[in-house]
């Protein structure tokens, strides 16, 4: 089978304790033995068994990932790139805890414990979700992505959603737009709420009091973007611009506009959020807020590592800046608008 620490000890003519010390960088071992052991380790391709290690209370070098939406979340994939890099740098492996959330007895926290996870990346939780609080209360180091929860050993990271939308509205205002509508994302989701808040604040700042009819509530999907746009187009006084809570919604809006024979951007400007791959290939290419998903993922792991390694570190609350990618769906409002 695979080599154990005992095999190495035997081959090196030392005790297992010594090998263990070498493996864990104890300074109390002589240069000579250290080198002999290390040579054997490399030669015999030895790698300590992580289960045994974590059992004796040492670090498991395992981070758990909790995704309430399941693995198929499209953003998770983009996050993964950044997560992956940071994981490698710090030597962690990532375990996806396939939750039986449906099962009444299922418990996140115990699942984490049974896996000796050192910390948890949590993504996809909604505002006020109970399980999120339990996680915080458990004391397991937790880093939320896109949910502003903090605690003794919990913190979060997110894009600057509010500021992003404020910037978007200001940009539209500068182009000359005054009737600016909003197709908001899912209520109850942190990012949806923040984006909507950004819309409200920017409108207020600019002295534009939005018509309540100009704000439609969606859920980030193309479907609600499509229907939302239909509603807006049916208004007696049509908006000249619409900011959407997601690219998917913006794509739905674009589709509705096309079907209604409304020219984009000549008669109507549309802005999305996320900069997913589809944003570049629709026609016209979508003006949208680009989130730096890779940085989000990478920093999430780094922050979590901090929480793990420094038990008394303060709760991180990190906001990552975004950038507006101006493409083809925005322009000045029509003359008679």
Q: Tell me whether residue 46 or residue 199 sits nearer to its own copies (CB atom).
A: 46
> What is the closest distance, in whole angstroms, from the C-beta atom of residue 41 to DNA in the complex?
10
User: Pattern 103-132, binding to its own copies, x per CB under 8 A?
Assistant: --x-x--xx-xxxx----------------
Q: Tell me whether residue 107 or residue 150 sits nearer to DNA (CB atom).
A: 107
> What is the closest distance, in whole angstroms, from the C-beta atom of residue 16 to DNA in the complex?
5
Name the 3-class secondary structure at 47.
coil
Q: Between the CA of residue 14 and those of 2, 5, 6, 18, 52, what are the distances in Å?
A: 19, 11, 9, 7, 20
The closest alpha carbon to 220, from 322, 94, 95, 74, belongs to 74
Distance, in Å, from the CA atom of 130 to the CA atom of 68, rounded to the nearest integer, reads: 12
CA angle 152, 153, 155 (to 5 degrees): 100
Name the 3-class secondary structure at 272.
strand
User: Pattern 258-277, binding to its own copies, x per CB under 8 A?
Assistant: ------------------xx
Within 194-253, the residues that bind its own copies by CB under 8 A are 251
Instruction: Give strand ranges (E) for 78-184.
Output: 93-96, 119-123, 142-145, 154-159, 180-184
Q: How many helices (H) and strands (E) in the chain? A: 13, 12
The binder of 283, among DNA, its own copies, none, by C-beta within 5 to 8 A per type, is its own copies
Asked if 95 is part of the footprint of its own copies (rule: CB under 8 A), the reply reads yes
Q: How far is CA 255 from the centre of its chain?
A: 28
Number of residues that bind DNA (CB under 7 A): 32
Instruction: Write out the H or E segment, with its range, that includes residue 65.
Output: strand 62-67
Which one of residues 16, 33, 62, 332 is an interface residue with its own copies (CB under 8 A)?
A: 62
> What is the closest distance, in whole angstroms, from the C-beta atom of residue 97 to DNA in the complex?
17
> What is the closest distance, in whole angstroms, from the C-beta atom of residue 55 to DNA in the complex?
4
Token duo for residue 220: 């980030």
The binder of 21, among its own copies, DNA, none, by C-beta within 5 to 8 A per type, is DNA
The closest alpha carbon to 18, from 3, 47, 38, belongs to 38
Within 23-62, the residues that bind DNA by CB under 7 A are 23-24, 27-34, 46, 48-49, 52-53, 55-58
> What is the closest distance, in whole angstroms, from the C-beta atom of residue 166 to its own copies in the complex?
28
**Total number of residues shown for the chain:** 337
Number of residues that bind its own copies (CB under 8 A): 52
Asked if 99 is part of the footprint of its own copies (rule: CB under 8 A), the reply reads yes
Beta bridge partners of 63: 94, 119
The closest alpha carbon to 97, from 132, 130, 74, 67, belongs to 67
Positions touching its own copies (CB under 8 A) are 2, 42, 45-52, 54-55, 60, 62, 70-74, 76-78, 80-81, 83-84, 87-88, 92-100, 105, 107, 110-111, 113-116, 251, 276-278, 281-283
Positions touching DNA (CB under 7 A) are 1, 4-6, 13-21, 23-24, 27-34, 46, 48-49, 52-53, 55-58
């Amino acid at each position: 089978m695979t080599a154990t620490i005992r095999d190495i000890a035997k081959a090196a003519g030392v005790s297992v304790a010594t090998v263990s010390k070498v493996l864990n960088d104890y300074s109390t071992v002589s240069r000579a033995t250290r080198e002999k052991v290390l040579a054997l380790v490399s030669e015999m391709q030895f790698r300590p068994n992580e289960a045994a290690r974590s059992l004796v209370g040492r670090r498991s070098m395992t981070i758990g990932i909790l995704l309430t939406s399941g693995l198929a979340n499209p953003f998770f994939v983009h996050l993964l790139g950044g997560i992956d890099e940071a994981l490698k740098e710090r030597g962690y492996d990532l375990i996806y805890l396939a939750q039986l959330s449906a099962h009444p007895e299922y418990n996140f926290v115990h699942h984490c414990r049974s896996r000796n996870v050192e910390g948890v990346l949590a993504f996809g939780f909604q505002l006020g979700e109970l399980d999120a609080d339990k996680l915080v209360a458990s004391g397991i180091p937790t880093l939320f992505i896109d949910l502003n929860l903090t605690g003794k050993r919990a913190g979060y990271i997110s894009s600057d959603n509010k500021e992003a939308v404020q910037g978007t509205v200001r940009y539209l205002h500068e182009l000359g737009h005054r009737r600016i509508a909003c197709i908001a994302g899912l209520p109850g989701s942190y990012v949806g709420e923040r984006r909507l808040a950004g819309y409200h604040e920017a409108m207020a700042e600019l002295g534009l009091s939005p018509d309540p009819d100009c704000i439609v509530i969606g859920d980030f999907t193309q479907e609600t973007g499509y229907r939302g746009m239909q509603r807006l187009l049916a208004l007696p006084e049509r908006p000249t611009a619409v900011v959407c809570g997601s690219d998917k919604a913006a794509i739905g809006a674009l589709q509705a506009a096309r079907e209604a024979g409304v020219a984009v951007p000549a008669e109507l400007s549309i802005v999305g959020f996320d900069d997913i791959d589809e944003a570049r290939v629709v026609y016209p290419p979508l003006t949208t807020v680009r989130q730096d998903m890779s940085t989000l993922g990478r920093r999430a792991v780094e922050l979590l590592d901090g929480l793990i390694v420094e038990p008394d570190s303060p709760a991180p609350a990190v906001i990552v800046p975004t950038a507006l990618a101006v493409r083809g769906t925005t322009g000045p409002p029509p003359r008679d608008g």
